[in-house]
Structure 1
Amino acid sequence: MINPQDPTELFTILKEIGKGASGQVFVSKSKNNKLVAIKTVPLTVKTLPATTKEIKFMKSIQHQNTLKYYSCYKKANDVWIVMELCECGSVQSILEKSGKGLEEKYIAAITGQVLNGLKYLHEMDKIHRDIKSGNILINSAGVVKIADFGTSADDGQNRTTVIGSSYWMAPETLDQRGYDYKADIWSLGITLIEMAEKDPPFFNLGSVEVVLQVTNNPPPSLKQPNKWTPNFKDFLNCCLQKEPAKRLGAAALLKKPWITEVNPACIMELVQDILSKKKSDDPALSYAPRKYGSESPRHSD
């Protein structure tokens, strides 16, 4: 699984673009001048099982709307996971930088691509278990990628482990009565509210209060319903059904008018705006928009 070569001889680290509990993410350049993302994870007894599981999961999937895994290396006490670079960053970073939610057409365009990725995962009997704006990335061709498979599960049926981020968790996950792939659909619904309003519902509450709110009360809804189209509100309602059996799956949601009636290429307006701002913030590391939907440049060691 681990490439024996020294990664510092193959890649040049350019800039840190992310930092989390499990490690750091950097923009890096390969020796053939291709830009990639490298996640470095300290190798400990605690991190080894989760890191190994994430790498195996990423190697087992291949879809336009899931983040591509290239290779991994060991350097000192770190594992370097090399992945495709998504130049626009995460949807969460876009929301944080703008300080407001996205336009509805962009939310619909992003959601359609996330649903394609989820449909693929669910048909492969896999659950992501941590769908949220921080784990949805966009590249310079406007292709949306589901990322961060550290909490994903291979067996899509009747899981009971409480894993994920509490604000986005489904009621059946929080009350530990067992859940399946429909838990990802609830998380997607919460992510829609997050994309519309910048934060998920109950973001001002602690995790215990969130559990009580989600399990004991009706599903959360948009704060300003009149601001949004009936098709959006209908779609959201199909995602945020407390009973999993009443929640639509990814394939059915892809057929809803809110998804089918949006021009998916409109996302390029958002991409151009993001990349323009990135260029002004850091001219040394600027990216150009690519043709909508085009594949990332191939990487090779």
Structure 2
Amino acid sequence: MGSVTKPAAAAAASSKGDFSPRPEKWSQGSLFTSRTDPAAAQQQEVEGDSLELLRKIVNKENPRMKYTKLEYIGSGTFGDVCRAVDNATGGEVAIKKINLKGLRKKKLKVNELMVMKINRNPNLVNYLDSYLVGDELWLVMEFMDGGTLSDIISKTCLSEDQMAAIFQECLRGLYFLHSNHVIYRDVKSCNILLRTNGSVKLADFGLFAQLTPEQSRRSSVAGTSGWLAPEVVTGQPYGPKVDIWSLGIVGIEMVEREVPCRNAVPVSAQLLTARGERPQLRQPNRFSSCLRDFLSCCLQIDVKCRWSAKELLKHPFIRSAKPPCILAPLINAIKKKKEEWRKKM
């Protein structure tokens, strides 16, 4: 994948001013810091302020009376996920159960809950309700009956039309988050969920970072090895474009059915990224120049050259994308095979 040069229109759409103050929006600072007395706010946080906030935010009812567990379906960041049925409606939901032991996890979970409640979008898994059950926080979300993109990648080879539809939906979700000062920080195939109607949504906000006017960049290492952007690996301050790098890695996953350097130990994979070595397609000529250019726009080492979500939505590969409903036959076929396999076990 060669280097790219942004067109004038794309350059004009740069995210340079994307994080201007929006006081009407919730920010991490408004929950956990005091502008007049930071030391006092920090002490308050240590004394368990985050747990008190959770108690104020969550539903006070007993979720065991409202939902019936059907099965365990997987693990997300900081918690296990099960499929359940709403006893009143008969509809299926996903319940993420998070153990709150440990102060930092409590703080993170308040963050996750607030970002889910405030940032609602068709391309983000829909938040429904939350409860405190003993030492656990239960997050009730819509159930994505088509499984994960990781499942799809492991079972079949995606066409470029299918990839374009998936990229477009992910970018719409990321553009929404970035416009609302949120860095996702955990874009990977197992966090991209599907429905049997073809819809594609981002899930699991356990590692998100809420930016504020006072803190428009982050430097903490957060994410999953293999998908980390160079600036995260090298400990440099970073912004929302770390999500774009990770999306480019998801693109490599879709193309080659595995993460670059998958067989290398995590440290080796990170060293390659830290040295400024971009992932390369093993057989680039098998794919269109438009797809290759799109991936190149995502996987630029220099953040200034890496395209934003807004710019990528205007890339020719995405502009030619078909509606996500084209994914429905593929998702349903793979789901049917998985169900048949389960019956044989």
TM-score (norm 1): 0.89
* Contact residue 276 and residue 301 of structure 2 kept, 8 A: no
Equivalent residue number for residue 165 of structure 1:
224
Distance 2:302 2:274 in 1: 11
Does residue 1:124 correspond to 2:184, yes or no?
Answer: no
Distance 2:329 2:322 in 1: 11
Q: Which residue identity lines up with residue 51 of structure 1 in the other structure? A: K
Distance 1:129 1:277 in 2: 32
Q: Which residue identity lines up with residue 194 of structure 1 in the other structure? A: E
Give 1:260 deviation, angstroms: 1.7
Larger Rg: 2
Equivalent residue number for residue 69 of structure 1:
127
Cα RMSD of the aligned pairs, angstroms, is 1.6
Give 1:282 deviation, angstroms: 5.1
Structure 1 residues 1-301: aligned runs within 5 Å: 1-20=57-76, 22-31=78-87, 32-46=89-103, 47-96=105-154, 98=155, 100-155=156-211, 157-264=216-323, 265-281=325-341
Distance 1:230 1:75 in 2: 52
Distance 2:283 2:187 in 1: 23
Distance 1:272 1:20, change over 3 A: closer
* Contact residue 10 and residue 30 of structure 1 kept, 8 A: yes
* Contact residue 77 and residue 207 of structure 2 kept, 8 A: no
> Over residues 186-214 of structure 1, what are the superposed CA-to-partner deviations in whole Å (9 max), with x where a residue is unaligned?
11101100122221111112222122101
Q: Which residue identity lines up with residue 151 of structure 2 in the other structure? A: S
> Over residues 253-280 of structure 1, what are the superposed CA-to-partner deviations in whole Å (9 max), with x where a residue is unaligned?
1111211223223212222213322443
Give 1:21 deviation, angstroms: 5.9
* Contact residue 129 and residue 164 of structure 1 kept, 8 A: yes
* Contact residue 106 and residue 270 of structure 1 kept, 8 A: no
Secondary structure of 1:137's match? strand
Give 1:92 deviation, angstroms: 1.1
Give 1:93 deviation, angstroms: 2.3
> Over residues 193-246 of structure 1, what are the superposed CA-to-partner deviations in whole Å (9 max), with x where a residue is unaligned?
012222111111222212210121431121111111111001001111100100
Distance 1:73 1:187, change over 3 A: same
Divergent runs of 4+, >4 A: none
Distance 2:169 2:230 in 1: 25
* Contact residue 101 and residue 194 of structure 1 kept, 8 A: no
TM-score (norm 2): 0.78
Distance 2:226 2:277 in 1: 15
Give 1:6 deviation, angstroms: 1.1
User: Structure 1 stretches of 5 or more lacking a match?
Assistant: 284-301
Distance 1:150 1:85 in 2: 18
